[in-house]
Amino acid sequence: MGDNLKQKMMGALAWSSIDRMGQQVVQFVITLILARLLNPTDFGLLGMVAIFAALSYVLVESGFGQALIRKQDANETDYNTVFYFNIFTSLLLYLILFACAPFIAGFFHQPKLVIITRISFLAILCNAFYLVPFTQLVKAMDFKSVAKANLISTALSGLFGIIFAIMHLGIWSLVIQQLSYHFFRMVLFHYSVNWRPKWLFSFQVIRDFWKFSVHLLGTSILNVAFNNLYQLILGRFYAVKELGFYSQANKLNDTFNYSFQQVLLSSTFTLFTQVQNDNPRLIRIFREVTKKTSIVTFPIMMVLIAIAHPFIFVLLTAKWLPSVSYFQLLCFSSLFAPFYVLNMSALNARGKSKITFGIEIVNKSLIILSVICCFRFGVIGLLLGYVFSRFISYLISTYYIKKDIHLSIKNQLMDLLPNFVFGSVLAAFAFTVSLVVTKPILLLSIQLILVTLLYVLYIKITQPKLIGQVIGIAGDKLGSFIKSIKERNN
């Protein structure tokens, strides 16, 4: 890997990690506060309309963001065409959803959803206005500016949500949090780029981009629909509180898993496109990222499964304990999700969006099959079927990686095995402690201390240079920060 490209990759991964992990830490704290101030029913009500908002965001973007990133000579006509297309689409979708609000409320048997949906869907309009500036920052690999905008937006919107929750406004505190998040992103992304829209539009750009983006759009629609499928089922056939428990468990799982997937998707796609025609180099980079990813994700997810009960009891209080089993099963389903995302990112970078769309079709078919087979066994049965379908989908994606870049399935799995085994050992140690200690706070403290010490020891043995690199980078950053403060004071 060339030094310049390697530096770009490391910088992109670093700032993407700061962005996602920082957002998740802030959002995690906000969620803890809101979970104590609000009831499971409030989270359940917002969960009912989540699928409609998420589908709208995908339809507005239409896959054109990745098309702009992939086009190396994108010009002003390209950017402006996509900008105005996004705005037109968002207006159309909002009007449709506004008119459909009574039907959505009727489907879930919740009349209050009419006004909730009409207000919360205003976020779709804000989303359309910042997609092009966001894409420009990603294309330039300026993840530092992206991170700043996202962190500020998350913090401010969370503060708004907490204030409204303290004022006893219930579900509206969550609606305001969602709306203000997209509003702040819109303002900050436009502030971060030196670009203003011009009166340029070309239907030819739409046609050219559509050839590539249609498969990505289809894949994204499938992802959103099926990521929210269980919320749709629970909202329709179960009590609102039950959906609230699931939504909270899913949010906690996303805090530790989805953020890492987005880091991979946003940074590796841009990286892979730069080496898409150099197969040996692509394989080297792909395997390096896979190994580095597994050393983080496997230990974290497996330990979370082991400590789920004291973790939720201490952080969210006893009223959220029914979500423990849901959280554990969702963590199981996410074990191989980052590597599935990595495989899809590599295939898309190679221009194989048609193949990735086909893989997603199979993936979603497996989920539907699991729902049909497991529905009668309740929520636990549904989630067990989901775990199985996600793992099979990952194996399918490894086959197409083998077929396209000629990296054998055996090598792909062997790259994961050492860290998978270590994650299992960590989880076993954490679970063993729970057999001896019963007090939740003491138990969680001992578990976290034990697994942290073992993890650091493992990294020191298997990746001796990594700790030194991290300490070196942290020292350099701290030194630069102190130096800048001294210069300002002088």
DSSP 438: -
Phi/psi at 54 (nearest 5 deg)? -65, -40
Identify the CA nearest to 304 among candidates 250, 244, 256.
Answer: 256
* Length of the chain counted residue by residue: 490
Instruction: For residue range 235-289, list pLDDT tens digits in order.
Output: 888 888 888 888 888 888 887 776 666 666 656 766 777 666 667 887 888 888 8
Question: How far is 90 from 123, CA to CA, in rounded Å?
Answer: 10
Cα(278)–Cα(405) distance, integer angstroms: 10
pLDDT grade, residue 296 (50/70/90)? confident
Contacts of 237 (CB under 8 A, 6+ apart): none
Locate 308 and state its tokens.
């789920």
Q: Are 237 and 375 in contact (CB under 8 A)?
A: no
**CA dist., res. 79 & res. 173, Å (int):** 35
**Which amino acid, one-letter code, is at 21?**
M
C-beta of residue 256 within 8 angstroms of C-beta of residue 24:
yes
At residue 173, the pLDDT reads 93
327 Cα distance to chain centroid: 16
Query: Which helix (H) or strand (E) covers residue 283, if one does?
Result: helix 279-306
* Residues whose CB is less than 8 angstroms from the CB of residue 50 and which lie 6 or more positions away in sequence, other chains included: 228, 231, 247
Q: How far apart are CA 362 and CA 356, in angstroms?
A: 10
- Distance between terminal CA atoms of the chain? 42
Q: Per-residue b/e over 230-251, b at no fewer than 16 CB within 10 Å?
A: bbbbbbeeeebebbbbbbbbbb
Contact 135, 94 (CB under 8 A): no
Q: Are 353 and 380 in contact (CB under 8 A)?
A: no
In one letter, which amino acid is 254? D
Which tokens go with 17? 């990690």
Residue tagged 């330990």 (tokens): 303
Side chain identity at 415, as an amino acid letter?
D
- Say if residue 134's pLDDT is above 60: yes
Q: What is the pLDDT of residues 357-367, one digit of tens each?
A: 888 888 889 98
**Residue 445, CA distances (Å) to 95, 240, 285, 430 in order:** 50, 33, 37, 11
Q: How much is the pLDDT for 152?
A: 92
pLDDT grade, residue 1 (50/70/90)? very low
Q: Which residues contact 283 (CB under 8 A, 6 or more apart)?
A: 405, 406, 407
3-state DSSP call for residue 309? helix
pLDDT at res. 145: 84
Q: Is residue 484 classed exposed, middle or buried when 0-12, 13-18 and 19+ CB atoms within 10 A define those classes? A: exposed
* Percent over 90 (pLDDT), the chain: 26
Q: CA–CA separation, 428 vs 451, rounded Å?
A: 10
Report the range of poorest mean pLDDT among 115-119, 257-261, 472-476. Answer: 472-476
DSSP string, 224-258: HHHHSHHHHHHHHHS-HHHHHHHHHHHHHHHHHTH
Cβ contact 41:111 at 8 Å: no
- As separate numbers, helices (DSSP H) first and strands (DSSP E) second, the chain gives 21, 0
How far, in Å, are 30, 31, 50 from residue 316 at the CA level? 11, 9, 22
Helix axes 171-192, 3-37, angle to 10 degrees: 160
Q: What angle do CA 66, 336, 357 make, to 5 degrees?
A: 40
φ, ψ of residue 122 to 5 degrees: the values are -60, -20
- Dump pLDDT digits (tens) for 50-109: 888 888 888 877 777 777 777 767 778 888 888 888 888 889 989 999 999 999 999 888
Looking at the predicted structure, is the pLDDT value of residue 10 above 70? Answer: no
